[in-house]
Amino acid sequence: MARAYMTETGDGSAEGERTGSRFRRLTDRWRNDRGIWRRGLVLAGFAVLIALVMVLHARIPNSIGNLGSLSETFLPWLGVFLPVLLGLALWRRSATALIALLLPVIMWFNMFGGLLTDKQGSGGDLVVATHNVNADNKDPAGTARQVAASGAQVLALEEIPGDQVTTYKKALADRYPYHSVQGTVGLWSTYPLSDSRPVDIKMGWTRAMRSTVRTPSGDVAVYVAHMPSVRVKLNAGFTANQRDNSAYTLGEAISAEPLGKVVLLGDLNGTMNDRSLNNITAQMRSTQGAAGSGFGFTWPAGFPMARIDQIMVKGLQPTSSWTLARTGSDHLPIAARLKV
């Protein structure tokens, strides 16, 4: 009679009972398996190690190949290992590994979960953009026009070769009546510029500048910077000492800025997690973290793995931040809307 009734009520009830039966068998197997606490100890060790790297990344020494800065540059990518460890823990039926996995999961979402939400809002009266155009760019004019099409009223370009300065000026002349090029960096604006000058970041040639942009809502000090490149070498580790010195010097210049509203645009060759940028990040905030959506990785353009290009502000309110389409450069351009 019970079987007949189950058939009469339809396939849905039968399927539900079969699913429930499978789930009960699975839980019974785990409950009666005395090895669930002994298996997966290696997986649990990996989970704890990942959690420790996230918790103690600031204590990883830079004295050995700048290992601390290297780990901080790619810190968000530790999250890639979490679903892998979860799958292996389930496959091994290891309660120990599953419980240990909670540690890095909680830490990762505590550190980076906020970046997964869309914080972009409306409003703002100043759109800024920045792009490392790449000295080997095969289409500098097209790159300039493409970034200008973002609608930015203030545009910063880095890594401009001396023999292409005229090309960029011509490509941007129609939209931007005001500009200043200092060394290999330049600033274009729809608003008047004043007090434009190089900023010494201890490199021996000019890769940073400062200018006052006279917006209708008030004067804004805009810094453009291209920090020294970093390299990962087998015999030397993460070679970033020159970048670190330049970042400290730039932070000192921004700290001494008399204007209360400051924007930093440029390729900093470092992420917001990198301790070597502390002299900058301690006094400014990233527009991506405050008003962006996602991680906003910018390099390398073909498969972005890190956000080393930054728009940072002090005394202004970011309302939205986004990454622009790929150009002929090996970096992606970025833009932000600010409330002055």
Contact (Cβ atoms closer than 8 angstroms) between residue 43 and residue 92: yes
Mean pLDDT of 17-22: 65
Query: Domains of the chain, with CATH numbers?
Result: 33-116 (no CATH), 126-339 (3.60.10.10)
**Looking at residue 5, what is its pLDDT?**
44
Give the DSSP H or E segment for 282. none
For residue 297, pLDDT over 70 is answered with yes
Best mean pLDDT range from 34-38, 40-44, 93-97, 192-196: 192-196
Distance CA 309, CA 130 (A): 8
| pLDDT confidence tier of residue 241, bands split at 50, 70 and 90 | confident
The beta-carbon contacts of 168-177 under 8 Å, at least 24 apart in sequence, are: 168/133, 168/140, 168/141, 168/144, 170/141, 171/140, 171/141, 171/142, 171/144, 171/145, 172/144, 172/145, 172/148, 175/148, 176/148
Closest CA to 186 of 241, 224, 132: 224
pLDDT tens track for 133-171: 999 999 999 999 999 999 999 999 999 999 999 999 999
Total Cβ atoms within 10 A of residue 113: 11
Contact (Cβ atoms closer than 8 angstroms) between residue 309 and residue 300: no
The 3-class secondary structure across 152-208, one letter per residue, is CCEEEEECCCHHHHHHHHHHHCCCCCEEEEECCEEEEECCCEEEEEECCCCCCCCCE
pLDDT tens track for 32-89: 666 788 889 999 999 999 999 999 998 888 777 678 888 888 999 999 999 999 999 9
Say which range, 68-72, 128-132, 298-302, has the weakest mean pLDDT: 68-72
